[in-house]
Amino acid sequence: MPQTTTAPRLLSLSSLLPLALLAGCGTFKSEREMTYEHALSIKGPVTLDVQTDNGPISIEAAPGTRTLKVISKQRAHGTSQGAADARVATFDVSIQEDADGTIVIRPILPKPRQSGDMVGLQVMVPELAGAHAVSDNGRIHLEGATAKSTLYTDNGRVSAIGCSADLQIETDNGRVSVQDCSRARQVETDNGRSGIEAHSWHVFAYT
């Protein structure tokens, strides 16, 4: 597990230089998008708890690496380019280890929230135990989990590949794809037709 002291570990991405900086503008709003990366040395299988209000989540096992890597894609709008730049600069991401050793990853956004605020999270670890991933609006991808995992999104597709433990998946509006996963799957959908079709290694559920 990650090497820590007895106190919870809190890491901030706000001090990191952006990997990419993109600007754009529409008829009424300007937009700024920034991407940050942080790497943390860890040992042993990691359990993750990753949540975002608006944006995609991707969690993957990356054998051969020695770090937990978080890539955060952040987007904000403003009435001018300067306003969009200033707003996205206030976005942040926290990485914290709770009492049971789970790594908790959350975006930090200013209040009140604005339409178009988005933080997408891509997380890669050398060994992945289980994961709990929640997005109110965005796709979720999980790859290589070896312990029970739960994936929830209100709006977006969900995919899981190469997982060797139980999966619980729920989406209100999106397609679910489960591939090369050898254990039980519980899939719940709330919108439209729900079904499962088996194609060799694949299981698909539709909403």
pLDDT at residue 88 is higher than 80:
yes
* Res 47: pLDDT: 97
- Provide mean pLDDT across the span 89-111: 93
The b/e string for 66-97 (b: 16+ C-beta within 10 A; e otherwise) is eebbbbbbbbbbbeeeeebbebbeebbbebeb
- Written as six digits, the tokens of 30 are 């300007």
CA atoms of 125 and 41, how far apart (whole Å) = 10
* Res 19: pLDDT: 54
Query: In terms of pLDDT, which residue wins out, 143 or 66?
Result: 143
- Written as six digits, the tokens of 153 are 């999104």
pLDDT at residue 77 is higher than 50:
yes
* Res 192: pLDDT: 37
* Res 9: pLDDT: 43
* Res 18: pLDDT: 54
pLDDT at residue 202 is higher than 60:
no
Strand pairing partners for 24? 31
Span 2-54, pLDDT tens digits: 443 333 344 444 444 455 555 554 443 799 999 999 888 888 899 999 999 99
Query: In terms of pLDDT, which residue wins out, 75 or 20?
Result: 75
Most confident of 18-27, 119-128, 176-185, 192-201: 119-128
* Res 195: pLDDT: 37
* Res 171: pLDDT: 87
**159 and 131 Cβ atoms separated by less than 8 Å:** no
The b/e string for 168-185 (b: 16+ C-beta within 10 A; e otherwise) is ebbbeebebbbbebeeeb
Omega prior to 112 cis, within 30 of 0: yes
Span 114-165, pLDDT tens digits: 888 999 999 999 999 999 999 999 999 999 999 999 999 999 999 999 999 9
* Res 168: pLDDT: 92
CA 158 remoteness from chain centre? 11
